Chains A and B, each alone.
Chain A
């Protein structure tokens, strides 16, 4: 069995941030990101402020910065998009090292880059300090429809099982001399994908049978209660509160 890639984001610990109720952290993280997005991009200092807040959270939670940096790779597509903007946006231009760039494009690129980075770092910190099971319990606690939470729970549980099946199928193909060299390999890969889909579908049916056999009636029983005392909410909401001060100041100065 492969080590659960779904759990590699979590950095176990016992810091204040780790111990907060998952629902508090979820609300704090989402509110923080919304506030970041609402901030006018021309107030560059405000983004430095947000970054400092996240750095503080990372320090308190003892999440190593190199680790955060490594996981930021998911942002690369956004970065490429942002980098294209100064070249593609029409309007007033300035020369940077002899290359004419659009002023509006530069601001737009900065806007995308700064906000996406802060958003990505926020979710990396959330994932690093909250294990997946707690996140799901938190979502349930926040009244996310039960069906969605169930789907996510199964996704977490079975992503490894399915990845493993995919790996075994690949090994079996390779063992019989198959190499995906060009487009002629596509039908084979398509068949594999189809077989995997059918297997997963059939597994879904078997899991459903197993659930029915243990008294499932359409609703997951709440087995663990993650009620958070007001103190935890207050601690968690400190982050968006400070961020709100930054956002409001930025608007006042804009």
Chain B
């Protein structure tokens, strides 16, 4: 199944969702991400960011509205293809790296897609080279530094050649050098990126466009420098630039 080249990477249309316990997390989210865009999804804790992310590859379903990825509906009958197209990098790399070696872990996704042998090896090598971890391929994940593990987690989804890369709090717990290394890797990628974060400087550095999700709806959508310059808007949604930080945009 080849993705529809003309369609946006991601379309979320009127998505609403309540958890089985009755807690409603999303109240009609609309979002379009064009191919090749890098978009930051900003929002305070509890805004519904994670709930939205879990809808993008069909882990959560059953609410109102619809999600399409490169023209393909997120529906049970093409979950396999959807999960190839949507690469989610979860917040804790220890959740994402579950195999005994980094190489095995990066191979897990493409192998589930049916790749074997030389083709599989090539995918793994390429993904590891992209995140600059080729020489650590045979290490067990717990022998890597936290920053290296975060990049290895990115490699595990890059190996699936996703249409859109979704990163959940990519900068959390990273020291400044690891943070910069990850940013360099992300900037070098030729893939659509949706970055969930409340690290506003990181959003400003990497994403030309930002979307604020607040109380289960999209509260603002526009160029990142413009959104981050609007102090009142940020304050209304419990977002703040770090002390002493100013945007020279």
| Chain A contact residues, CB within 8 Å of chain B | 1, 3-4, 7, 132-133, 136, 153-154, 156-158, 160-161, 203, 206-207, 209-217, 220-224
Contacts and interface: CB of A to CB of B under 8 A. Distances in A.
Contacts of B94: 158, 161, 203
B108 A214 contact: yes
A153 B90 CA distance: 20
B173 interface: no
Interface size class of B (residues with CB under 8 A): 20 to 34
A153 B108 CA distance: 13
Given A157-B141, A216-B112, A223-B111, 8 more contacts: A4-B143, A7-B140, A153-B98, A156-B100, A212-B59, A212-B83, A215-B112, A217-B112
Contacts of B100: 132-133, 136, 153, 156-157
A109 B101 CA distance: 43
Given A203-B95, A214-B160, A133 B104 contact: yes
B83 A213 contact: yes
Nearest to A6: B140
Given A215-B112, A215-B160, A224-B104, A210 B142 contact: no
Interface in B29-80: 54, 57, 59, 80
A162 to B, nearest CB: 10
Contacts of A209: 54, 59, 90, 95
Contacts of B142: 1, 4, 157, 160-161
Contact of A210 (B86, B95, B101, B113): B95
The residue in B87, B97, B108 that gathers the most chain A C-beta atoms within 10 A of its C-beta is B108
Contacts of A224: 104
A10 B154 CA distance: 30
Interface string B109-138: 101110000001000000000000000000
Contacts of B141: 157
A161 B95 CA distance: 10
A216 B157 CA distance: 13
Contacts of B101: 133
B191 to A, nearest CB: 16
B99 interface: yes
B178 to A, nearest CB: 15
Contacts of B193: none
Nearest to B84: A215
Interface of B, helix, strand, loop or mixed by DSSP? helix
The residue in B59, B88, B140, B143 that gathers the most chain A C-beta atoms within 10 A of its C-beta is B140
Nearest to B156: A214
Contact of B92 (A7, A154, A206, A222): A206
Contacts of B156: 214
Nearest to B90: A210
A213 B85 CA distance: 10
Given A4-B142, A133-B101, A215 B88 contact: no
Contacts of B104: 133, 223-224
The residue in A157, A158, A209, A223 that gathers the most chain B C-beta atoms within 10 A of its C-beta is A223
A1 to B, nearest CB: 5
Contacts of B157: 213-214
Contacts of B15: none
A14 to B, nearest CB: 15
B211 interface: no
Nearest to A223: B107
The residue in B84, B97, B99 that gathers the most chain A C-beta atoms within 10 A of its C-beta is B99
Contacts of A133: 100-101, 104
A152 to B, nearest CB: 10
A157 to B, nearest CB: 6
A158 B92 CA distance: 13
A249 B74 CA distance: 68
B116 to A, nearest CB: 8
A132 B101 CA distance: 10
Contacts of B109: 214-215
A240 to B, nearest CB: 28
The residue in A136, A153, A157, A222 that gathers the most chain B C-beta atoms within 10 A of its C-beta is A157
Contact of A214 (B54, B112, B140, B143): B112
Contact of B140 (A136, A157, A212): A157
Contacts of A3: 143
Contacts of B54: 209
